[in-house]
Amino acid sequence: MKRLKAFLHWSERQYIPVNRRYQAFEAPERYRGVDALTENELLRLAAVDLSTLQVRAYVAKHFEQAERELPGGRPIVTLDEHHQRLQHVRDKVLLCCYLGLGDANRLTPEHLAGEVVRIHANKTGVLCVIPYFDDDVFRPVALIEQYAPLGLATCLPYVREIYDYLPHVQHLAGPCASRSPCA
């Protein structure tokens, strides 16, 4: 990340347009050696029951601003929408982990071919062939099938402001046993 920030600083000095948001990001001083979720963390994330009263109370507490209204009486985002977004974010993270896919928003039913996913990598254009079947840990088929009745153009719903919901999904999954702080 430090190299990326250095490159962006260089770009500014060369009068190349750079998005100012990168300046708010702080790279950790020391690499923690965490690049992936552990099996336990992945299973715990998949096991979160988002339909409980405790989760509904959590959503109400952390998304109180949902009750405010825009001029004209239209709600900004309802608590039910926040709750639904939490589930969609959790499912999107799981799908990315299950398939090793960085951009689950591009995955469509046309990419699913039997027991494989065939999709071109966004950056390189190389055709990726990814195993597509359920086992004890990875459950991409079951995850995608639960959204199939919606008839979406993509396999999972699009979620606005996904990064606003990730810390809440992590909190609901519980503390990381293997490391601190949770990544």
Tens-place pLDDT, residues 124-160: 888 888 899 999 889 999 999 999 999 999 999 998 7
Amino acid identity, residue 147? Y
Specify the CATH number of the domain 32-173.
Answer: 1.10.443
In this prediction, residue 15 carries a pLDDT of 77
154 touches 108 (CB < 8 A): yes
User: Phi-psi region for residue 161, left (φ > 0), alpha (ψ -120 to 50) or beta?
Assistant: left
For the chain, the structural domain boundaries read: 1-31, 32-173
Give, in order, the Cα–Cα distances in Å from 158 to each of 42, 88, 136, 155.
21, 8, 27, 9
Rg (CA), the chain: 19
- The confidence score (pLDDT) of residue 91 equals 95
pLDDT digits (tens, 9 = 90+) for 47-102: 999 999 999 999 988 887 555 555 565 557 788 888 999 999 999 999 999 988 87
d(CA 113, CA 64): 43
For 144-159, letters b (16+ CB in 10 Å) and e give beebeeeeeeebbbeb
Residue scoring higher pLDDT (4 or 119): 119
